[in-house]
Structure 1
Amino acid sequence: MSNPKAVVLVSGGLDSTTVLAMAQQQKFDCYTLSFDYGQRHRAELMAAENTSKTMGAVEHKVVKLDLGTIGGSALTDESIDVPEEETEGIPITYVPARNTVFLAIALGWAEVLGAQRIFVGVNAVDYSGYPDCRPEFIRAFEVMANLATRSGVEGQTLSIDAPLIDMTKAEIVQAGVALGVDYSLTVSCYQADEQGRACGKCDSCRLRRQGFVEAQLPDPTRYV
């Protein structure tokens, strides 16, 4: 009997790579999905492809979008600087509707594949305050997904799995290391250079570094 299929959203970063390992541990055949959405940190796309291949994903797909056409984020608008100091409220690195768009496309691919699980690496503990990383968002999207699809209407219920949702960054790192994840292949930085080296200053870098420190594990991140 063949393994069930799952679509796994991967960015090339620490969280989504850990989620891929978790899905594989659950014996899913994993189809990984990344987005070329106009982000300034494009080294993540190479990292996503590399980790997917290295970890044995059945297929890796990159969907091209251009969220830069609507702007509104330091990650898609070169005229907005990536902040290197902590800020209050929802930071300017929030990309409007990003996870909604990504999950919608993942939903479409899941239908085509006959997959009933979508894995996503959102986190509501050690995150930057993004509204589309909260449990209530994931629950609401799952309800919508089963109302909006042929598979859902025909009784093949689709689930959105967010296994990191309540974990700290240190717990995520520990879980990934236990599953054999090679974090040196991942890129989390919002402004990584073309070689994938991290700035060490942005919010994502700070959270990542703190995770390794609190996990009491060596940080394999390559910094500029």
Structure 2
Amino acid sequence: MSHERAPGGARAVVLLSGGLDSATVLAIARSRGFDCYALSVDYGQRHRAELDAAVRVAGALGAARHVIADVDLSRFGGSALTDTSIAVPEGADAGAPASASSNPSIPITYVPARNTIMLSIALGWAEVLQADDIFFGANAVDYSGYPDCRPGYVQAFERMANLATKSAVEGRPMRINAPIIDLSKAQIIREGARLGVDFSLTVSCYQADAAGRACGRCDSCRIRREGFAAAGLPDSTRYQTG
């Protein structure tokens, strides 16, 4: 799900949510020699703290440009992340870690078609930039069980991209890079730290407050906290309490 070092001056679009996974992916893309164009999506999520974090991360990691696209999925709801009337699960209700080989119950924090929409926007920008690579922070090891984070999904989107784009038809196929898809959260954190990612700039919490402080109780917070512990690195996450 990843590719070799880029030729000089090659461009890549990097999906950047503002969380630690996408920050690490941006650092990986840069380490491979790409000029990185960071793309975040304001999709009507519960808070803007992650988008604010994406601005900080793009600046810190030297993105050539950072764009925030607007697609209001809150018009449809259907997820605790886009419908404030649906509570974000906490504690035991947030579930246990999923694995790529299991068939977990998909949590209410899954946002219908979100990754497909984001990758489609990235694909359009990549064509305009004449960039042959998109980087995407999908992970299928320590994750919440979302179906659009699995290797088969990423492979299928790449096939679709190479059927649907002018650049591919004219001989420049698109590559969808998912360099952390088979890494544990601890491995992702270690790789990000090795590449100089400042994780204190990132926000992963499903219900962070306006200051970007994490709740410490949702599934994303649990996975992040356990990842730092397993990596043996200090957790720089700012929590609302404690």
The normalised TM-score by structure 2 is 0.91
Q: Distance in 2 between matches of 1:206 and 1:122?
A: 18
State whether structure 2 residue 86 is matched by structure 1 residue 86.
no
Separation in structure 2 between the aligned mates of residue 75 and residue 41 of structure 1, nearest angstrom: 9
Give the conservation status (yes or no) of the 8 Å contact 1:41–1:189.
no
Q: Deviations over 1:51-88 (max 9, x none)?
A: 10111100000001110111100000000000003336
**1:119 aligned partner:** 135
| Contact kept? 1:126, 1:169, Cα under 8 Å | yes
Q: 4+ residue runs of structure 1 moved beyond 2 angstroms? A: 85-88
Amino acid aligned to 1:90: I
Runs of 5+ unmatched residues, structure 2: 1-6, 96-103
Aligned AA for 2:29? A
Pairing 1:130–2:138 present: no
Deviation at 1:2, TM superposition (A): 4.6
**Aligned-pair distance for 1:41?**
2.6
Q: For each residue in 1:15-51, what CA deviation from the matched residue of structure 2 results, as whole angstroms up to 9, or x when unmatched?
A: 0000000000001000000011100031000000111
Q: Percent identity?
A: 65
SS state of the match for residue 94, structure 2? coil
The equivalent position to 1:168 in structure 2, one of 184, 194, 199, is: 184
CA–CA distance in 1 between the matches of 2:232 and 2:11? Answer: 35
Equivalent residue, structure 2, for 1:68: 74
The equivalent of 1:21 in structure 2 is 27
**Contact 1:74–1:80 (CA<8 Å) still a contact in 2?**
yes
Residue of 155, 166, 172 corresponding to 1:139: 155
Aligned to 1:50: 56
| In structure 2, C-alpha distance between the alignment counterparts of 1:219 and 1:162, rounded to whole Å | 24
1:38 lines up with 2:44 in the alignment: yes
Amino acid at match of 2:38: T
RMSD: 0.9
Letter in 2 for 1:86: A
Letter of the structure 1 residue corresponding to residue 154 of structure 2: I
Partner of 1:183: 199
Offset of residue 129 of structure 1: 0.3
3-state DSSP class of the match of 1:151? helix
- Alpha-carbon separation, structure 2, partners of 1:179 and 1:55: 10
Q: Which runs of 5+ in 1 are unaligned?
A: none
Does the Cα contact within 8 Å between 2:8 and 2:33 map onto a contact in 1? no
- For 2:68, what is the secondary structure of its paired residue? strand
Aligned residues: 224
